[in-house]
Amino acid sequence: MAQAAAQVVDRWGGGVCPFEAGWRKVMMWVFIVTDGLLFAGFLASYGYARVLAANWPEQSSVFSLPYIAAMTFVLISSSATMASAVQAAQAGRRPTVLRFVLLTALGGIMFLSMQAYEWTHLIEAGARLDHNPWGVPAFGSFFFLLTGFHGTHVLIGVLTLLVVAVRSAKRLATPEGVEIAGLYWHFVDLVWVFIFTLFYLL
């Protein structure tokens, strides 16, 4: 026990990173915190607007919640395949890494396509950034703002995963690189869980 404590102190003593991780992973973690706060800013603003709003539409009358649940299921599943990819990378099984990274990217693309369909559907029904047929303008504004920003993050994640896949095929990908891409992907999924809960369900 005392020995373990001594080791902890040692890691902070300079010469090594205290977290048993390279600076890349540290940087990604800190980036996730700051990017998470960006979504926190949007979500807090949404909460503020919703408290102010006179008539917030009933979500189930606007969205098809089973459809949104299916989107959520796709995205969460892609987190599972990502975890498998990271595990395979750490075990050095390259073909498995490639397969699971591509599968994860496919999940992301499916999610984006479903979101594009949802947007099209709602825009045809009359939803715009500045007005919508269901209630206060803020409803449509925050819908496009939140899902748009999140969708952009998913898109960046998909592109990153494709780069990882190419590097993996060329035998350039490192286990740490796959893991860092995975951290970002899990973060994007986690943000969706918050948006799903706070915007669609609550």
Partner 1 sequence: MTTPASQVVETPPHDAAEPHLGFVRRYIFSTDHKIIGIQYMLTGLVMAIAGALLATLIRLQLGWPTHQWQWLALLLPKGMPGGVMTPEFYLAVVTMHGTIMVFFFISYVLVSGFGNFLVPLQIGARDMAFPFLNMLSYWIALLSALVMLASFFVEGGAAAAGWTAYPPLSAVWSAVPGSQLGQTVWLLSMALFIVSFTMSSLNFVATVFSLRAPGMSMWRMSLTVWSYFISSILGLLAFPALTAAAVMLLLDRHLGTSFFLPSGLVVANRLLPNQGGSPLLWQHLFWFLGHPEVYVLILPALGVACDILPTFTRKPIFGYRIQVWCLIAVGVLSMIVWGHHMFVSGMSPFSGEYFSLVTLTITVPMTIFGVNMLASLSGGRLLLRTPMLFALGVIALFGSGGFGGLFLGNATANMQLHDTYFVVGHFHLMIGGVTMLGTFGAIYFWFPKMFGRMMSERLGKVHFWFTFVPFFTLFFMQHFLGLQGMLRRYYAFTSYDFLKRTQGQNVVISLLAMVLVAGQLVFLANFVWSLLKGRVAAANPWQATTLEWTVASPPPHGNFGAALPDVHRWSYEYGVDDVEGDFAAQSVPPERVPVTA
Among 34, 66, 124, 170, binds partner 1 (CB under 8 A): 34
Among 97, 105, 127, 181, binds partner 1 (CB under 8 A): 181
Contact between 40 and partner 1 by CB under 8 A: the answer reads: yes
Contact of 81 with 108, CB cutoff 8 Å = no
Phi–psi pair at 93, nearest 5 degrees: -95, 90
Contact between 193 and partner 1 by CB under 8 A: the answer reads: no
- Residue among 46 and 111 whose Cβ is closer to partner 1: 46
Which residues touch 75 (CB under 8 Å, ≥6 apart)? Answer: 107, 108, 111, 154, 189, 192
Among 138, 154, 165, 188, binds partner 1 (CB under 8 A): 138
Among 26, 91, 123, 201, binds partner 1 (CB under 8 A): 26
93 token code pair: 């099984």
Contact between 30 and partner 1 by CB under 8 A: the answer reads: yes
Residues that bind partner 1 (CB under 8 A): 12-19, 22-24, 26-27, 30-31, 33-35, 37-38, 40-42, 45, 48-49, 52-54, 129-130, 136-138, 141, 145, 149, 163-164, 167, 174, 176-177, 180-181
